[in-house]
Chain A
Amino acid sequence: MNFDVNQIRGLFPVLHQEVHGKPLIYFDNAATTQKPKQVLEALTSYYEKDNSNIHRGAHALADRATQYFENTRESVRRFINAKESAEIIFTKGTTESINLVAQTFGRKFIGKGDEIIISTMEHHSNIVPWQMLCEATGAVLKIIPVHENGELDFQEFEKLLTSKTKLLSVVHASNALGTINPVKKMIDAAHAVGAKVLLDGAQSTSHLEIDVVELDCDFMVFSAHKLYGPTGLGVLYGKREILEAMPPFLGGGEMIKEVTFEKTTYNDIPFKFEAGTPNIADVIAFDAAIEFIDSLGKKAIKEHEDELLSYANELTADIKGFQPIGTAKQKVSVLSFNINGMHPFDVGQMLDARGIAVRTGHHCTQPLMKRFGIEGTVRASFAVYNTKSEIEQMAEGIARIAKIKNK
């Protein structure tokens, strides 16, 4: 498929509606992306034709559903270039994936006095699970500071790395600022002191080419709903030898080999970590989302989104009172900003009056907001189906709003 925005927009039914009498401009893609027709059709088709429980029944429907389910696992493997599909575990989302690692890998391999490094720009879901682990084990959380432009302080990061470091858990691309972190360099540096690395790919997987073998990360986590796929579904990638060494997370069906009241033996990966009936329909539909992304190609997607971001930067640069937050050199398509003298919530509501959907607030990154001495920001985040004309309308809205307090 050639990159034709109008054609792409045709695939997204939700975009074709009015909000408050104005055409919807959806710029809240970092929160969740819209879903193309193929994904919606895969969902209905599954329930209409194939619904059954997987990995168990010896009948045609169960067979088919199992096959589709496992097809998605293989597609995800290809999508991030993992070595084998057994290294792909389905979860509820990024949040659950991180908690899984904290509760299994963390409980087994991280102890009193050991150190976990995260950064100031982490999403709360990459902070709280580690705080909980530290509380339970006596491990210590270390925080990489952030420069004024929204880039990580690499020198300070290197100073934090010691033989005590057991894990680096860091966001690949920041949801609040858009900053793309130099993760390859960070992974290599962490490995050099013997630490493992978890990459939070919630915001990077929809924009950047991902190769977990080349990156050499030990874990990577992301959510399907930010990748044009369904909600309530996420991925945990882990290297085989690490996943095998980890104890299971939830106990129940699917995850066992044999249960007796004396002793239970656990199933092999990935099933060891997928207790109970999984989110079958959404996993199957996720395959259509990956196919959609592949049909466009990450390179074309990134080019399109980069163009939107630089256009937005250009059109807002001279607006009096416009304060961009996060101006890193390498960014995904996130424009975070404030307007001098105005609360982000008010700005968001006024943009909403123009049919423009943005996010306002702390974006689940309160420590980062504190670092910048602000309560929150307005965040516009762009995706494949957004257009330059939409950016123009947003810039026009921002200019009008900014004028209220910045004459």
Chain B
Amino acid sequence: MSSINEIQDEIVSEFEILGDDRESTIFYIMELGGNLEDFPVEEQKEDNIIKGCQSKVWLIADENDGKVHFKADSNTDITKGLISLLIRVLNDRTPEEIIHADLNFINRIGMGSIIGSQRSNGLASMIKQMKLYAIAFQTKLNA
């Protein structure tokens, strides 16, 4: 499996191919949402909603053999695309790796200007929630 940084490099080059056309970039992000694993309907509940996102985002995680597995869903396609990128980078890694991951692809892509400030704040909340899950699993694993 590629490292967190290798995957980030991949993503950056995929976005570079798209060039400067904003609309194509957004269409592409929306398409990425299609890569999300099915999300259990019963988990679309208030407890799993990430606070601080304008759109609804549900995130759950479990731990297997010391690796964290995330599943997520959203009611908007752009947000689905964004979280699918985070999952692609962080899924099935150790809590340690997730906690220390420096998600520089977001700035390298210039994501902030593509998605605007409201969604950037939402993206930051998603990352925070993923790291919080990792911290919780790390605590459990070390107990």
Please give the residue numbers on chain A whose beta carbons come within 8 Å of chain B beta carbons, in ascending order: 20-21, 342-343, 345-346, 349-350, 352-354, 375, 400, 404
- The minimal Cβ–Cβ distance linking A360 to chain B, given in whole angstroms, is 10
Extra contacts, 16 of them, besides A345-B55, A353-B23, A404-B27 (Cβ < 8 A), are: A21-B22, A343-B55, A343-B76, A343-B77, A343-B78, A345-B76, A345-B78, A346-B30, A346-B76, A346-B78, A349-B78, A349-B115, A349-B119, A350-B26, A353-B26, A400-B23
Cβ contacts B52-81/A at 8 Å (1 or 0 each): 001100000000000000000001111000
Contacts of A352 in B (CB 8 A): 116
- In the complex formed, the residue of A with least CB distance to B20 is A21
Closest CB pairs A-B (n = 3)? A343-B76, A353-B22, A353-B23
- In the complex formed, the residue of A with least CB distance to B55 is A345
- Secondary structure call for the A interface: helix
- Complex Cα distance A349/B23, Å? 9
Cβ contacts B102-137/A at 8 Å (1 or 0 each): 000000000000011001000000000000000000
Check B23–A350 contact: CB distance below 8 A.
yes
Q: Would you give 6 A-B contacts (Cβ < 8 Å), ordered by A?
A: A343-B75, A345-B54, A349-B78, A350-B26, A352-B116, A354-B23
Contacts of A350 in B (CB 8 A): 23, 26-27
Check A349–B26 contact: CB distance below 8 A.
yes
Chain B CB within 10 A, most for which of A343, A346, A353, A404:
A346
- The minimal Cβ–Cβ distance linking B122 to chain A, given in whole angstroms, is 10
Contacts of B23 in A (CB 8 A): 350, 353-354, 400
Cβ contacts B14-44/A at 8 Å (1 or 0 each): 0000001011011100100000000000000
- The minimal Cβ–Cβ distance linking B15 to chain A, given in whole angstroms, is 15
Contacts of B119 in A (CB 8 A): 349
Contacts of A343 in B (CB 8 A): 55, 75-78
- The minimal Cβ–Cβ distance linking A373 to chain B, given in whole angstroms, is 14
- Complex Cα distance A346/B23, Å? 11
- In the complex formed, the residue of B with least CB distance to A375 is B75
Contacts of A346 in B (CB 8 A): 30, 76-78
Contacts of B78 in A (CB 8 A): 343, 345-346, 349
Contacts of B115 in A (CB 8 A): 349
- Complex Cα distance A342/B26, Å? 14
- The minimal Cβ–Cβ distance linking B118 to chain A, given in whole angstroms, is 8
- In the complex formed, the residue of B with least CB distance to A342 is B77
- In the complex formed, the residue of B with least CB distance to A343 is B76
- Complex Cα distance A275/B54, Å? 38
- Complex Cα distance A342/B75, Å? 9
- Complex Cα distance A224/B48, Å? 42
- Complex Cα distance A400/B77, Å? 16
- Complex Cα distance A354/B21, Å? 10
- Complex Cα distance A343/B122, Å? 16
- Complex Cα distance A332/B88, Å? 47
- Complex Cα distance A352/B22, Å? 9
- The minimal Cβ–Cβ distance linking B58 to chain A, given in whole angstroms, is 15
- In the complex formed, the residue of A with least CB distance to B115 is A349
- Complex Cα distance A212/B127, Å? 54
- The minimal Cβ–Cβ distance linking B83 to chain A, given in whole angstroms, is 14
- In the complex formed, the residue of A with least CB distance to B116 is A349
- Complex Cα distance A119/B51, Å? 31
- The minimal Cβ–Cβ distance linking A348 to chain B, given in whole angstroms, is 10
Contacts of A353 in B (CB 8 A): 22-23, 25-26
Contacts of A349 in B (CB 8 A): 26, 78, 115-116, 119
Within 8 A of A (CB), among B91-108: none
- The minimal Cβ–Cβ distance linking A402 to chain B, given in whole angstroms, is 13
Chain B CB within 10 A, most for which of A21, A352, A353:
A353
Contacts of A20 in B (CB 8 A): 22
Check B22–A404 contact: CB distance below 8 A.
no
- The minimal Cβ–Cβ distance linking A397 to chain B, given in whole angstroms, is 8
- The minimal Cβ–Cβ distance linking B69 to chain A, given in whole angstroms, is 26
Chain B CB within 10 A, most for which of A20, A342, A343:
A343
- Complex Cα distance A404/B77, Å? 11
- The minimal Cβ–Cβ distance linking A321 to chain B, given in whole angstroms, is 14
- Complex Cα distance A21/B20, Å? 9
- The minimal Cβ–Cβ distance linking A228 to chain B, given in whole angstroms, is 26
- In the complex formed, the residue of B with least CB distance to A400 is B23
- The minimal Cβ–Cβ distance linking B77 to chain A, given in whole angstroms, is 5
Contacts of A342 in B (CB 8 A): 77
- The minimal Cβ–Cβ distance linking B132 to chain A, given in whole angstroms, is 25
- Complex Cα distance A309/B93, Å? 53
- Complex Cα distance A400/B78, Å? 16
Contacts of B26 in A (CB 8 A): 349-350, 353
- The minimal Cβ–Cβ distance linking B112 to chain A, given in whole angstroms, is 13
- Complex Cα distance A400/B25, Å? 14
- Complex Cα distance A21/B113, Å? 13
- In the complex formed, the residue of A with least CB distance to B119 is A349
